[in-house]
Copies of this chain bind each other. A is one copy, B any other.
Amino acid sequence: MKLKNGAEYMDSLKQISPVIYYKGQRVEDVVRHPATAPHVRAAAMTYALAADKTHRDLATATSHLTGRTISRFTHVHQGVEDLIKKIKLLRVLGQKTGTCFQRCVGLDGINAVYSIAYEMDRKNGTDYLERFKKWLIRIQDENLMVVGAMTDPKGDRSKGPADQPDPDQYVHVVDRNPEGLVIRGAKLHMTGAVNSHEILIMPTTAMDERAKDFAVICAVPVDAPGITMIFGRQSGDDRRDRRERIDVGKPRFGAVGGEAVIVFEDVFIPWERVFMNGETDFTGGVVYRFAAHHRANYGACKTGLMDVLTGAVAYLTQVQGTSRASHVKEKITEMIHLCETLYSSSIACSAEGWKTPSGAYMVDTMLANVCKQNITRFHFEVARLAMDLAGGFIATLPSEVDLESEDVGRLVRKYFSGVESIPTEQRIKIGRLIEAMTGGTALVESMHGAGSPQAQRIMILREGRLDQKVKLAKALVGIPEKKTGARPKPGTV
C-alpha cells in the first residue's frame, strides 16, 4: 500500500486537481476547504485504521491477485470471512467517525464489476476481466480511493434511458474510436467523489437492447478533462463552513459523506479502462450485485452511528438527571434493539454469502435488501427516540457565540446546566451532536443511499420464491399440484 495512513492520503489529494464547485466557487484544496475537509478526515480514518494495530486485521486483507497486503476497501472478497470482517470494519468506522467514510461505494463497485466482467468474458470471449485486474492492482498497490458512480439523473422517470427527450440524463457513449470511447452525462449523489482518486462508472439500471450506448462500465481519474463536480448542500453546512466549534455537532467529521454531482462532458476513456461496452444483458447483473453489496453495508456503518447516538443520548440523560427513569431505559433499550436488528441482517447476508463463478463472494441478496429496507425505517425511529430523550433544548439552544458572549454567556451557562457536576458546555456539545445526527441530510441519506425503499421491495418480492411457498401451503392441506395430477398426502412423515 503506497498510501499508508491518513496523512499520506491527504497529501495524495494535493497531487490531483479535480474541477470542483461549491456555492458558486471553485474548491482548490479539498483537504483544507471547510466544506470538504471533514469528509476528507472521515475517509482518512479508513487509511488510519489500516495502520493501527488494533484494527489492522479488519482494515486490511491479502490481495488474491498479488498476495500483497492491501486495504480491505480495495479487496475482492474471497470468502464469507472477508464479508463478515468488512461488516465489522464498517461498524467500527461508523463508531469512530459518526458519519459516512465514503469508501465502501468504490469497494462495492469493484466487487460487482469483477464478477460480472468474468461472466461477460466467459459468454462473449471479451477480455474485460484482464483489463479490470490491471486497473485494480494499481488501485490496491497505491491504495487509491475509488468512487463507485451509479446513479444517473434520470430526467423524466416515466421514461427509460433510450426514451428521454434529453439523452444525457443517462451517461452514454457519444463516440468510439481506436483509442477508446467518449462519454457524456452525469452521476448524482456521488459520495466521496471530491476526495477520491478514481471514478468507476457503472450503468444505473437494467437496460434492454435499445440502450446499448448506455451500457458502459469504465474507470477514469477524477481530474480527467471534461469532468466537473458540483458539491451539494447539507443540513447545517453553514456551521461547518464557518468552522464552528460546537454548533456543528461533529467538530471534525461531516454530517454524512459529502455528495457531489459529477458531470461528464465528452470525457475520453482509453480502452484499457473500459470494462463493459454495450452488453445490455449484463447491466441488470452489475446493478443488482453492486446494490446488494452496498445495501449490506448499511447495517454496519449506520449501526456504528447509532452506537454513537445511543451513547450521546444516554450521556445526556445522565447530565439531565433522568437516566434512571423507566421510560428512559425503555427507549434506550429500543434504540439498541433496533440497531442490533439492522446489524443482524448485515452479518446474516454475509454469513450466507456465496461464491460467484469468478471466485468473488456475493452477499445473500434477499437479506441484504431486507437490511437496507429496515434502515429506511429504523434509522428514523432511532432518531425519533433520540429526539424524544434529548429534550426540546436541541431545537432552541442559543448559538456558541452566545455561550461565549460577555453579555449573555453567563445566562446561557446558568440556564442550560444540568446536574451540578457536569459543565454546561458538555451538555450543549452533546445536544449539538444529537441535533446533527438526527436531522435532515443524515436521514435522507439512510432513506435513499444504496437505493430508495421501493428498489429493495422489488428485489424482496423477486427473491421471495413465491411459487415455492405456495407449494408448501398446498402440501400442508393436501391440494395436489396441477402438473402431476397426483395428490400428495399432506406432510407425510
Q: Which of B45, B252, B395 is in CB contact (< 8 Å) with A444?
A: B395
Chain B nearest Cβ from A164, distance in angstroms: 10
Instruction: Identify 13 residue pairs between A and B in the complex whose beta-carbon atoms are under 8 Å apart, listed by A's number.
Output: A44-B493, A155-B321, A155-B417, A165-B420, A233-B399, A235-B439, A236-B236, A251-B477, A310-B466, A332-B466, A340-B366, A341-B374, A433-B476
Asked if A153 lies at the interface with its beta carbon under 8 angstroms from chain B, I say yes
Asked if A275 lies at the interface with its beta carbon under 8 angstroms from chain B, I say no
Asked if A471 lies at the interface with its beta carbon under 8 angstroms from chain B, I say yes
In contact, B398 and A336 (Cβ under 8 angstroms): no
Residue among A24, A96, A153, A235 facing the most chain B CB atoms (10 A cut-off): A24
Q: Which residues of B contact A367 (CB under 8 A)?
A: 340, 343-344, 347
Q: Classify the interface of chain A: helix, strand, loop or mixed.
A: helix
Asked if A197 lies at the interface with its beta carbon under 8 angstroms from chain B, I say no
Chain B nearest Cβ from A165, distance in angstroms: 5
In contact, B95 and A472 (Cβ under 8 angstroms): yes
Q: Which of B156, B168, B491 is in CB contact (< 8 Å) with A420?
A: B156
> How far does the alpha carbon of A275 sit from the alpha carbon of B95 in the complex, in Å?
43
Asked if A158 lies at the interface with its beta carbon under 8 angstroms from chain B, I say yes
Q: Which residues of B contact A98 (CB under 8 A)?
A: 472, 476, 491
Q: Which of B238, B327, B380, B475 is in CB contact (< 8 Å) with A330?
A: B327
Assess A411 versus B351: contact at CB under 8 Å? Given A96-B491, A470-B314: no
Asked if A307 lies at the interface with its beta carbon under 8 angstroms from chain B, I say yes
> How far does the alpha carbon of A408 sit from the alpha carbon of B158 in the complex, in Å?
27
> How far does the alpha carbon of A471 sit from the alpha carbon of B314 in the complex, in Å?
10
Chain B nearest Cβ from A311, distance in angstroms: 3
In contact, B21 and A407 (Cβ under 8 angstroms): yes
Q: Which residues of B contact A443 (CB under 8 A)?
A: 384, 387, 439
Q: How many A residues face the partner with a CB closer than 8 A?
A: 167
Residue among A366, A426, A466, A493 facing the most chain B CB atoms (10 A cut-off): A493
> How far does the alpha carbon of A454 sit from the alpha carbon of B374 in the complex, in Å?
23
Chain B nearest Cβ from A314, distance in angstroms: 5
A residues 191-235 with Cβ under 8 Å of B? 228, 230-235
Q: Which of B341, B402, B417 is in CB contact (< 8 Å) with A341?
A: B341
Asked if A180 lies at the interface with its beta carbon under 8 angstroms from chain B, I say no
Asked if A110 lies at the interface with its beta carbon under 8 angstroms from chain B, I say no
In contact, A236 and B239 (Cβ under 8 angstroms): no
Residue of B nearest to A384 (CB): B380
